[in-house]
Amino acid sequence: MINTDGSLNCDVAGFGAIIRYEEGNGLAAATGSSPPKMIILHELQGLETGLKLASLHKFWNVQVGTDSMVALSYVQRSISPPWVAITVLRSIRRMIQSFESFQICHIYRETNEQLTIFLAYTLQSIFWKSLLAHLQRI
């Protein structure tokens, strides 16, 4: 199972994914950050990161869990995405085609807590590095 998440605050946005064994232990994880845009973009960036991670580890039967019903709807083509998310969504759809099987389902935020904490730590680290760099310029 690949769990994905995205986060957004006023200064920074982050996203990430974690691949778990069936019993729930983490196998691999990755996070990233980008300028803050829209939460759905960062949720989709988390999904894209998870699919890249699965491909890197040569997992070809992929099951994704996301706590974003909107991201789920975009992937399933139930609704059209905003223009800002189209490029990432196209990348996701190309990667999905490379897997032998692909499933995506909604999970409750509480079951994604490990990734949420990991992502919060990453964003906090990015914030402090950014603040330190800003203070050094003064």
Answer yes or no: are the C-beta atoms of 63 and 1 closer than 8 Å: yes
pLDDT value of residue 25 = 75
Residue 117 above 90 pLDDT? Answer: no
Give per-residue pLDDT as tens, 56-96. 999 999 999 999 999 999 999 999 999 999 999 999 999 99
C-alpha–C-alpha distance, residues 18 and 105, integer Å: 15
CA-CA-CA-CA torsion sign (71, 76, 80, 86): positive
Q: What is the CATH number of the domain that holds 61?
A: 3.30.420.10
End-to-end C-alpha distance for the chain, whole angstroms: 46
Question: What is the per-residue pLDDT for 124?
Answer: 57
Angle between helices 39-56 and 86-98 (to 10 degrees): 20
For residue 131, what pLDDT is reported? 45
Domain range for 44 is 2-136
Contact 75, 104 (CB under 8 A): yes
**Mean pLDDT of all residues in 48-59:** 96
Tell me the range of 15-19, 53-57, 116-120, 134-138 where mean pLDDT is highest: 53-57
Residue 85, C-beta contacts closer than 8 angstroms, at least 6 positions apart: 38, 40, 41, 44, 74
CA separation for the pair 48, 46 (Å, rounded): 5
| Residue 12, pLDDT score | 81
With tokens 């990734």, the residue in question is: 115
CB 116 within 8 A of CB 109: yes
pLDDT exceeds 90 at position 8: no
Q: Could you report the per-residue pLDDT of 29-49, keeping only the tens digit for each?
A: 888 888 989 999 999 999 999
* Total domains present in the chain: 1
pTM, 2 dp:
0.81
